[in-house]
Homo-oligomer: A and B are copies of this chain.
């Protein structure tokens, strides 16, 4: 029914071995023979059987990309950049590799499941994007998995995630702490003394680091933080909306709201507006990531730009072995403060 290598071989009057070599192009084959084989492939409309080839060669051309939420442009942009680097040449048959984007939904279990699935497929490489869950048993399980993958020859790269010691994984870490600090320093510099903070979900490295940066800035300025000023929630606009109303209820005198990311900040803006507060005259707002839509907010969002596409591209190249890993296997990617209309001096 389906065309196999043997069929092509028969048609081209050569042995299966020769056809395989023509297709993989890693062994000398006379030009005339090659041409005959290629013609047969074409005539029969032959398509290599991936699993069989992977089994025989003990490697596959799958590359896994783990993301927390594929519907979030933060991950979409990174995934896109990673994938663009993966498709390129440098591999076997045609050099095409299949990027597998896996959506963990932020769930530790699914993350582990996907890692196992990828291990099962003998993936050529795996890139994990975004923050990790800070839960000891889970973190250990993931680390163990990464180590196994590495031992099996799968290249593991972390993009926008803290290093995973002893796993052999290359890490391109975002400087969330530094960015968070810079952002809050900017607000403090503007004169703000009462700042609300809408943090992401607890138990996530990204959440913690950004919050730590914020607090470091407060501490450095001698501002004592009121516990009521911090609210946790998911990384989406809805959470930002609700958290802002909560913050306003707890302390109506806040003059600035710092959000865990841009989507959250957008929700915060909506809540403030509905509460009759002007941005930035009454309350300043700041986000994080600088996603494409942030500049279209009204007023445009002050935020910290993360070079998502650049970092993703680099991670992709490293995963494909087309770029040297950073010394020590760890590199820190810094963000850049983008001051725009949503932040200004406090009222009064």
A residues in contact (CB < 8 Å) with B: 2, 45, 47-55, 60, 62, 69-73, 75-77, 79-80, 83-84, 87, 96, 98-103, 105, 110, 113-114, 116-122, 148, 152, 236-237, 263, 266-267, 269-270, 273, 292-293, 295-298
Contacts and interface: CB of A to CB of B under 8 A. Distances in A.
Contact of A297 (B54, B72, B295, B296): B296
B103 A80 contact: yes
Contact of A122 (B51, B100, B117, B295): B51
A70 B84 CA distance: 11
Contacts of A116: 47
Given A76-B71, A120-B49, A152-B2, A100 B103 contact: no
Quick one: copies of this chain in the complex? Answer: 2
- Most B Cβ at <10 Å: residue of A45, A87, A263: A87
A35 B190 CA distance: 66
11 contacts: A45-B148, A49-B122, A50-B51, A50-B122, A51-B52, A51-B60, A71-B76, A79-B103, A80-B103, A84-B103, A87-B110
Counting from the closest, the 7 A-B pairs by CB-CB distance are A51-B54, A101-B101, A298-B298, A71-B76, A50-B121, A50-B120, A51-B51
A101 B148 CA distance: 25
Contact of A266 (B53, B99, B293): B293
Contacts of A118: 98
Contacts of A69: 80
Nearest to A269: B296
A70 B79 contact: yes
A48 B118 CA distance: 11
A78 B101 CA distance: 13
A243 to B, nearest CB: 15
Contacts of A79: 70-71, 101, 103
A48 to B, nearest CB: 5
B83 A70 contact: yes
- Most B Cβ at <10 Å: residue of A55, A72, A116: A55
Given A98-B100, A293-B293, 10 more contacts: A48-B120, A49-B55, A51-B52, A55-B55, A71-B80, A72-B76, A73-B76, A84-B105, A98-B117, A237-B293
- Most B Cβ at <10 Å: residue of A69, A96, A113, A296: A296
A155 to B, nearest CB: 17
